[in-house]
Amino acid sequence: MNKIKKGLGRGLSSLIGESKKDTSSTNKISVNSLVPSKFQPRKYFDEEKLNDLSNSIKERGILQPIIVRKSENFTDKYEIIAGERRWQAAKKAEINEVPVVITDVDDLKSLEFAIVENVQRDDLNPLEEAKGYQRLIDEFSYDHEKVSKIIGKSRSYITNSLRLLSLPNDILTLVEERKITAGHAKILVGLENASFIANKIYNKKLSVRQAENFVKIFKKTKKIKNIKDPNIKDLEEGLISKIGLSVKIQNKKNNKGTILFEYKDLDQLNKIIEILKNYY
């Protein structure tokens, strides 16, 4: 049993060990006796990598057993909790039987197993990976430290991965559709104009390094634009000292613009009106 659990991967081995309902055992069963999980977090299976795995299985067999439980909907069948990709690759390789660990868990534990197993895969879409971590936090009360330990990655890695989910939906769609990479997306986190820059990255086919330089130039240009003319600044400060209210002067290149007076109550508003009446 120890050897079996060791082969399951760090996170799954830990979860199976923690499960009070677990009555795990190892068997080989027909690929036709398995049905997909209703809790599958993975939305995208890379066909090329699936073929690579299928070829590997032909040569070396399945090294990690598939975790299953008895199906509630189909007699004499087992529902895959973790390992659907291996199952699909085995069918492609025309393997008749696959090694499985049969375990007795409820729906909630089955979902937890599926998420943990998926986020440990190297080829998982970075966005799906982040969503998996978030589900562990939201639905199973994990904190970043527990996610880090169960997945076997640093806490900073988990935190940075989760930051992707703060991006606007249009950028997340670009990542899901693999039009930009997670590396690109990480550069955009926290930027006010993230969507604009994301589309520039995609349309101009910028590398991550090129995107980083573009963001630096964009920030520098914006900062220069936001620097106020010192003469205008002096005028603002002079008005503020005279009337005691906040004043902002917005002057355009053609020397047209606006003067904004900020008042906090009716007394301050009346003061502005009185000044205008007396002098104009």
pLDDT digits (tens, 9 = 90+) for 81-129: 888 888 989 999 998 999 998 888 887 777 777 777 777 665 667 787 8
Residues with Cβ within 8 Å of residue 55, at least 6 apart in sequence: 93
**pLDDT tens figures, 5-52:** 334 445 555 555 554 444 445 688 899 999 987 766 566 667 788 888
pLDDT of residue 81: 86
**168-226: CATH, from 3.30.1490.190, 1.10.10.2830, 1.10.3720.10, 1.10.357.10:** 1.10.10.2830
Residue 104: both structure tokens together: 């007795």
pTM: 0.56
Fold of 2-124: 3.90.1530
pLDDT of residue 233: 76
As annotated, the residues of the chain forming the CATH 3.90.1530.10 domain(s) are: 2-124
Buried b (16+ CB within 10 A) or exposed e, 125-157: bbbbbbbbbbbbbeeeebeeeebbebbebeeee
**Which of 84, 112, 117, 129 is labelled catalytic?**
84
As annotated, the residues of the chain forming the CATH 1.10.10.2830 domain(s) are: 168-226
**pLDDT tens figures, 223-244:** 545 556 777 777 877 777 667 6
Residue 84 annotated in active site: yes
Backbone φ and ψ of 100, nearest 5°: -135, 155
**Amino acid identity at 78:** Y
Cα angle for residues 52, 45, 149 (degrees, 5° grid): 95
